[in-house]
Amino acid sequence: MSRPADSGRGDAPAPAVANPHDRPALARVIGDVDTFARTVWGREPLLLRAADPAGFADLLSEASVDELVGRRGLRTPFLRVAKQGDTLANAAFTAPGGLGAGIADQVSDDKLAALFAGGSTIVLQALHRVWPPLIDFCQQLAADLGHPVQANAYVTPPQNQGFDDHYDVHDVFVLQVAGRKRWSIHAPVHPSPLRDQPWTDHREAVRLAAEQEPLIETVLEPGDALYLPRGFLHAATALGGVTVHLTLGIHAWTRYAVAQELVALALAELADDEGARTSLPLGTSLATGELDTDVVAAKLRAAIDTLDPAAVAGRLQARRRDAQRAAPLGPLAQHALAVRLTQSTTLRLREHLDATLVDGVLHARAGRVRVDEVPGDALKRLLAGDVLTAGDLGSDAARTLIEAGLVVAG
């Protein structure tokens, strides 16, 4: 629910410090999950003031930024740098890795320090892949939302605006980590944009809209959170010191994605239709009257009408599995687990596998494995999240599941 222009700190609802809701990551950010789902999601911005004095320091901190930049050997595209709205060339902040590292695009902490001192914004990208606290949090948030999640961090020097007014093609949660940042939010010029409809396609409309009265004008402080549906215009300016905020991007599944799969399946059906494969007239100029659009459209509609919704769901579920990763796995730990396996070894399904059973084959983010040898009751319990023994699953089947990365130590 959007809020009127505001620069105070007590007029927006705050989430409870402890929320027993079964969507823990989402509840931590927005508090009342049911109200959010019913009235806010995909519709309106929502501003939430800090309920926990510790804020989001467990997910990222200023010290975390220094460690990532100075000690983790980041390479592009895990970092980019911007100044006055323009993204700098990679060479401006990268250098060779040094002896034993035959790469030329590692982040240079020396160059980065100079650029930051000169007013450039540091953007740490895909932190859901490289920073352990955010790997875990983003995986849980994606599970809570049912939509893929990515994490970027924006580190802005004092009195600096990182990017001009723009909109994103994904929903975002903004989590203020350190410092204070003024945000200005305006209504969309192109509501609910698709991923291939960037704000630059509406540059002039964005500029004009940004000159109007904002829906929200506020200062975020550590622990504050802001939800923005895709399409809402926004710009942020650091106030008085260094600021760090996390942007959690939610790449929502849309009805357009459903339509894509419907059409893809319908076209596959038409490939078996001789009439659809018939050539256009000899010497065609591809003029309107020669395209038989009414015939083709009728065949396409008929093909869509006969599709099994389960086939559409299966294709989208496969895309969903490819869009996220399962919980981190240690190859050496898995090897040791398989080697020391006994009948009493406890095992559980690896988290965030997005596993489904189809005709005796377990489809998951770790791959596909035939599980005919696993007793039906044991398999049902495993998929429900129960901890089982190798004896419950059958030793050979248990070893196969371990080596495939589908189960881990319980």
Q: Which residue has the tokens 């919980």?
A: 327
Percent of all residues in the chain with a pLDDT value above 90, rounded to a whole number: 82
Q: Provide the pLDDT for residue 17.
A: 34
pLDDT band at 162 (very low <50, low <70, confident <90, very high): low
Q: How far apart are CA 157 and CA 155, in angstroms?
A: 7
pLDDT band at 18 (very low <50, low <70, confident <90, very high): very low
Query: Over 60: is that where the pLDDT of 382 sits?
Result: yes
Mean pLDDT confidence for 279-300: 92
Q: Provide the pLDDT for residue 6.
A: 46
pLDDT band at 161 (very low <50, low <70, confident <90, very high): low
Mean pLDDT of the chain: 90
Boundaries of every domain in the chain: 24-250, 255-323, 331-409
Q: Which residue has the tokens 């377990």?
A: 362
- For the domain with range 24-250, which CATH number is right: 3.40.1390.10, 2.60.120.650, 3.40.50.300, 3.40.50.620? 2.60.120.650
Cα 88 to Cα 115, 201, 204, 287, 378: the distances in Å are: 10, 22, 23, 47, 55
Question: Phi/psi at 272 (nearest 5 deg)?
Answer: -95, 5
Q: What is the pLDDT of residues 395-409, one digit of tens each?
A: 999 999 999 999 999
Q: Higher model confidence: residue 52 or residue 340? A: 340
Determine which helix (DSSP H) or strand (DSSP E) holds 217, and give its type and residue range: strand 216-220
Cα 51 to Cα 182, 222, 270, 378: the distances in Å are: 19, 10, 56, 42
Q: Higher model confidence: residue 272 or residue 6? A: 272
- DSSP, collapsed to helix, strand or coil, labels residue 218 as strand
Mean pLDDT confidence for 221-239: 94
Q: What is the pLDDT of residues 259-270, one digit of tens each?
A: 999 999 999 999
Give the angle 31-38-34 at the CA atoms, nearest 5°. Answer: 35
Q: Provide the pLDDT for residue 105.
A: 85
Amino acid letter for position 302: A
Q: What is the pLDDT of residues 293-330, one digit of tens each?
A: 999 999 999 999 999 999 999 999 999 999 999 999 99
Contact call for residues 198 and 258 (beta carbons, < 8 A)? no
Give the angle 95-97-100 at the CA atoms, nearest 5°. Answer: 155
- Domain 331-409 listed as CATH 2.40.110.10: no
Cβ neighbours of 288 (radius 10 Å): 7
Q: Provide the pLDDT for residue 57.
A: 94
Query: Over 50: is that where the pLDDT of 201 sits?
Result: yes
Contact call for residues 177 and 223 (beta carbons, < 8 A)? no
pLDDT band at 22 (very low <50, low <70, confident <90, very high): confident
Q: Provide the pLDDT for residue 206.
A: 96
Cβ neighbours of 113 (radius 10 Å): 14
Query: Over 50: is that where the pLDDT of 2 sits?
Result: no
Query: Over 80: is that where the pLDDT of 19 sits?
Result: no
Report pTM: 0.88
Q: With the CA atoms of 190, 196, 199 and 202 taken in that order, what torsion angle do they form, in degrees rounded to the nearest 10? A: -60
Cross-strand pairs, 227? 46, 173
Question: Phi/psi at 236 (nearest 5 deg)?
Answer: -135, 145
Q: Which residue has the tokens 């320091």?
A: 57
Query: Over 80: is that where the pLDDT of 99 sits?
Result: no
Span of 154-163, 282-291, 294-303, 335-344 with lowest mean pLDDT: 154-163
Query: Over 90: is that where the pLDDT of 239 sits?
Result: no
Q: How far apart are CA 318 and CA 355, in angstroms?
A: 10
Q: Provide the pLDDT for residue 163.
A: 72
Amino acid letter for position 370: R
Q: Encoding tokens for residue 209?
A: 């809209």
Sequence-distant contacts of 133-138: CB under 8 A, at least 24 apart: 133/58, 133/59, 133/60, 134/59, 134/60, 134/246, 135/328, 136/327, 137/25, 137/59, 138/248
Q: How far apart are CA 230 and CA 251, in angstroms?
A: 9
